[in-house]
Amino acid sequence: MGAYYDEIEIEDMAWDESKGVYHYPCPCGDRFEISRSQLANYEDIATCPSCSLIIRVIYDPLDFEDEPPDDETSEGEEEEEDKEEDDESGDEQFHDAFEKLTLENSGASVTVVT
């Protein structure tokens, strides 16, 4: 794709913590935006949500290689909290299942570790 409005270095863009994107002013009055996860996925095109202009972002992909995917950033924190709660109830469920476990003698040996 060669129809870029401009090529901008990442250092010239501003980080917006609330939206989680780098931005740069667009001539239409809005701003070009690109997320850290897009940069981590080697995407170098920042788009303007209000017009059809795009810019190419000049950056080092290695600076963003440890960035988690989009679907893990905000939901991942919530899932960790849920997982901790589930771990506690999971232990109780495991003990209940263990108490209800019955083994039949079919000639096979079973080792139970507690």
Note the pTM of the prediction, 2 decimals. 0.56
pLDDT for 65 equals: 72
- d(CA 112, CA 97) in angstroms, rounded, equals 13
Token readout for 66 is 């440890």
Token pair belonging to 80: 């960790």
Of residues 106 and 34, more confidently modeled: 34
CB 57 within 8 A of CB 10: yes
Instruction: Say what the pLDDT of residue 3 is.
Output: 85
Query: Mean pLDDT for the chain?
Result: 76
Please say whether the dihedral angle defined by the alpha carbons of residues 73, 75, 78 and 84, taken in this order, is positive or negative: negative
**CATH classification code of 6-64:** 3.10.660.10
Please give the average per-residue pLDDT across 102-112, as a whole number: 63
Residue whose tokens read 């495991």: 94
Q: Yes or no: say if 33 and 15 are a contact pair by the CB < 8 Å rule.
A: no
- What is the rounded CA–CA span in Å between residue 33 and residue 58? 14
55 pLDDT above the threshold of 90: yes
pLDDT digits (tens, 9 = 90+) for 60-95: 888 877 766 555 444 444 445 455 555 555 556 556
111: confidence class by pLDDT, cuts 50, 70, 90: low
